[in-house]
Amino acid sequence: MTVVVSGFEPFDGAVANPSWETAARLAERGEGLVAERVVAVRLPVTFAGAWPVLDAAIREHDPDVVVALGLASGAPGVRLERVAVNVRDARIPDNAGAQPVDVPVVAGAPVGYWSTLPLKASLAAIRAEGVPAGVSSTAGTYVCNDVFYALMHHWGGPGRRAGLVHVPDADVVPIEDQVAAVAAVVRHALLGTPEPVLAGGTES
């Protein structure tokens, strides 16, 4: 079994990005932890460049599961993203200086796509590890969502397990705990674990 896990380069003046640190560490420990082969892919924080890099890795490695990781700075825990939306609305420029506002990720495509990862089974497993986590119904409108949407539009679909997980800052959830959380997501995706009835919605 092969898994592709992507993370992002630093952006907005930061010197590191825990999404990439987590992806890289999971790949180092992948064999025996989650799958026979875990490939980590470092994505640029650019609207024009992120998906082509991930797409190339998917074409090269033909994975069974794809988990894109992104940083949700300020979040209190790991966020399992439920839906990708077809809009770019950048609060800040990306690393190439682009700042699209109210334009689609893919022109003429559906308004959104559901994650095909087992979110509730993963949530239960992550919480059992003692790591704070929740299901999120918005992946934002920056490059993380852009990659999530493109992944589901071009590769995701029936029978394919793919989606986005946002990790928090490393001082909120240490990298080792982030690795454990993402490993739980990957394991349940590979197993095709049925979703339990577990509330994960929010009031607002």
Cα(first)–Cα(last) distance of the chain, in Å? 39
Torsions phi, psi for 121 (to 5 deg):
-65, -40
Neighbours of 71 (CB within 10 A): 26
Task: Single out the catalytic residue among 31, 144, 154, 176.
Answer: 144
Task: Single out the catalytic residue among 31, 166, 176, 188.
Answer: 166
Task: Single out the catalytic residue among 9, 81, 188, 203.
Answer: 81
Q: What is the DSSP string of 37-62?
A: EEEEEEEPS-TTTHHHHHHHHHHHH-
Cα–Cα distance between 12 and 94 in angstroms, integer? Answer: 8
* 166 tagged catalytic: yes
Cα–Cα distance between 186 and 165 in angstroms, integer? Answer: 11
The C-alpha angle 13, 16, 22, rounded to 5 degrees, equals: 145
* 81 tagged catalytic: yes
* 61 tagged catalytic: no
Q: Hey, which residues are catalytic here? A: 81, 144, 166
